[in-house]
């Protein structure tokens, strides 16, 4: 019997007992669909996190004030004394392995242009901020160090702010009022999109930090030339751990932290976040593989059980076919093909259900998904392998039946 005839006979046999075949496939369907959904959501979330980390810069150190303690009570993160421009200069001049460093402070202000107003975030930054964040204007220019030191009234705006205030018009060279301060737009930033927590990163404006401090926000923070955050880009040839340790030592010295005392600042290395994400992804991949293996194992046991029942019910058919000249290999292959067809069909159904489930989750705007063709092929291949592995024993048992005894079977 050729392979195509064997497949037709297998489909006929499965169709005769459609309900039993469907129940037998259920374990494979659930296993494959669950793997497709989990892997798609995990891969999509992983890519979203990667893009978010890339938007900050993989070789970036973020330095922020930590928590403060007063009267036995501890404040939250960011309540300690703010850093200042001198800290930025100290890191630039005293730490080896730094490619660029910049301070940042931010707040919310109202932007007015041509009678249209929009409230959003304004960030005061040093000139090297664009290099540390690997984020540059798509049109126009960034500001110069001289404009930072002089507190020039120049500003760059994000795509969202440009669209809301100017529509399709070119905003470069236009005068925009920030609070009560008129400023000249010198550039529009390249598009960043949403962050992993749903914030529109293009709904922002950037101006020289002295301009923002003195003319717009006017915070009295008890520190001369304060900055909320310092961004330090590590040179590609430098040792990130050593640079991090050097910055921590420098900041402890500048903030008069005694030996053994707790730091009142934090230095976060995004490279560590990437490594942690990769480790988490690997562990999650192992868990998914284990879940898939268990699901397919349960499904395979169900397939074996059904095939054993099928060979028992068709004992007389097997005896008759052997009596009229069928080879034992033909009998074995016939039942083996039935098992593979059963699992393969279950795998296809599971794939379709999994893709549909993943698409539904994405439609809810809960998680981004990414369906890898390789995962689909592996899932289908694994289901076919289950059919061969768990179908071999019933098929071999059927092929070893004695024709005479089989014909006598009731």
Q: Which domain holds residue 376?
A: 3-52+275-408
Stretch (H or E) spanning 178: strand 175-178
Q: What does the alpha-carbon distance between residue 40 and residue 305 come to, in Å, rounded to a whole number?
A: 32
Which of 233, 263, 293 is the C-terminal boundary of a domain?
263
User: Quick check: is 60 in a domain?
Assistant: no
- Same domain? For 213 and 121 the reply is yes
Q: Structure pTM?
A: 0.60
- Same domain? For 151 and 200 the reply is yes
User: Quick check: is 58 in a domain?
Assistant: no
Q: Hey, what's the torsion of the CAs at 69, 75, 81, 87, to 10 degrees?
A: 110
Residue 76: per-residue pLDDT: 45
Question: In the chain, pLDDT over 90 holds for what percent of residues?
Answer: 31
Residue 406 has pLDDT above 60, yes or no: no
- Same domain? For 222 and 305 the reply is no
- Same domain? For 303 and 383 the reply is yes
Residue 150: per-residue pLDDT: 92
User: Quick check: is 180 in a domain?
Assistant: yes
- Same domain? For 26 and 116 the reply is no
Condensed to tens digits (0 to 9), the pLDDT of residues 306-347 reads 777 777 777 777 777 777 777 777 777 777 887 888 888 888
User: Quick check: is 70 in a domain?
Assistant: no
User: Quick check: is 212 in a domain?
Assistant: yes
Which of 263, 290, 315 is the C-terminal boundary of a domain?
263
User: Quick check: is 74 in a domain?
Assistant: no
Residue 68: per-residue pLDDT: 46
- Same domain? For 295 and 375 the reply is yes
Residue 89: per-residue pLDDT: 94
User: Quick check: is 76 in a domain?
Assistant: no
- Same domain? For 108 and 20 the reply is no
- Same domain? For 217 and 292 the reply is no
- Same domain? For 191 and 328 the reply is no
User: Quick check: is 119 in a domain?
Assistant: yes
Backbone angles phi and psi of 238, in degrees to 5: -90, 160
Residue 39: per-residue pLDDT: 77
Q: How confident is the model at residue 211 (pLDDT cuts 50, 70, 90)?
A: very high
Residue 95 has pLDDT above 80, yes or no: yes
Condensed to tens digits (0 to 9), the pLDDT of residues 217-272 reads 877 777 888 999 999 998 888 888 899 999 999 999 999 988 888 888 988 887 66
Scored b (16 or more CB within 10 A) or e, 229-264 reads: bbbbbbeeebebeebbebbbeebbebbeeeeeeeeb
**Of residues 401 and 142, which shows the higher confidence score?**
142
Helices (H), 177-227: 209-211
- Same domain? For 384 and 298 the reply is yes
Which tokens belong to 352?
A: 């379709």
Which of 213, 234, 263 is the C-terminal boundary of a domain?
263
- Same domain? For 243 and 307 the reply is no
Domain count, the chain: 2
């Amino acid at each position: 019997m050729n392979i195509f005839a064997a497949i037709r006979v297998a489909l006929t046999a499965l169709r005769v007992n459609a309900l039993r075949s469907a129940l037998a496939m259920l374990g494979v369907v659930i296993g494959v669909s669950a793997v497709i959904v989990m892997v798609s959501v995990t891969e999509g979330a992983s890519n979203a996190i990667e893009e978010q980390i890339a938007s900050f810069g993989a070789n970036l150190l973020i330095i922020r004030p930590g928590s403060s303690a007063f009267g036995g009570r501890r404040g939250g993160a960011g309540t300690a004394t703010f850093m200042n421009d001198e800290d930025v200069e100290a890191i630039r001049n005293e730490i080896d392995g730094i490619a660029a460093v910049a301070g940042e402070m931010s707040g919310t202000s109202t932007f007015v242009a041509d009678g249209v107003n929009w409230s959003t975030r304004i960030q005061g930054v040093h000139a090297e901020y664009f290099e540390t964040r690997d984020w540059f204007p798509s049109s126009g220019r960034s500001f110069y160090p001289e404009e930072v030191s002089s507190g020039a009234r120049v500003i760059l705006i994000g795509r969202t702010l440009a669209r809301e205030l100017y529509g399709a018009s070119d905003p470069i060279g236009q005068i925009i009022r920030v609070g009560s301060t008129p400023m000249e737009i010198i550039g529009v930033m390249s598009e960043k999109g949403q962050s992993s927590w749903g914030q529109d990163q293009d709904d922002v404006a950037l101006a020289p930090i002295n301009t923002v401090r003195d003319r717009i926000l006017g915070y009295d923070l008890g520190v001369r030339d304060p900055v909320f955050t310092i961004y330090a880009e590590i040179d590609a040839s430098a040792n990130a751990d050593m640079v991090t340790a050097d910055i921590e030592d420098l900041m402890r010295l500048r903030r008069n932290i005694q030996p053994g005392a707790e730091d009142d600042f934090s230095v976060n290395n995004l490279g560590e976040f990437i490594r942690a994400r990769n480790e988490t992804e690997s562990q999650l991949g192992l868990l998914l593989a284990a879940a898939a293996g268990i699901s397919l194992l349960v499904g395979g046991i169900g397939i074996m059980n059904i095939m054993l029942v099928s060979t028992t019910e068709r004992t007389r058919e097997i005896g008759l076919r052997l009596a009229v000249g069928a080879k034992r290999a033909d009998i074995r292959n016939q039942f083996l093909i039935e098992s593979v067809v059963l699992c393969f069909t279950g795998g296809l159904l599971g794939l379709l259900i999994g893709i549909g489930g993943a698409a539904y989750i994405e439609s809810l705007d809960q998680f981004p998904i990414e369906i890898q063709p390789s995962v689909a092929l592996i899932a289908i291949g694994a289901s076919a392998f289950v059919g061969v592995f768990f179908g071999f024993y019933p098929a071999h048992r059927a092929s070893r039946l004695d024709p005479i005894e089989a014909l006598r079977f009731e």
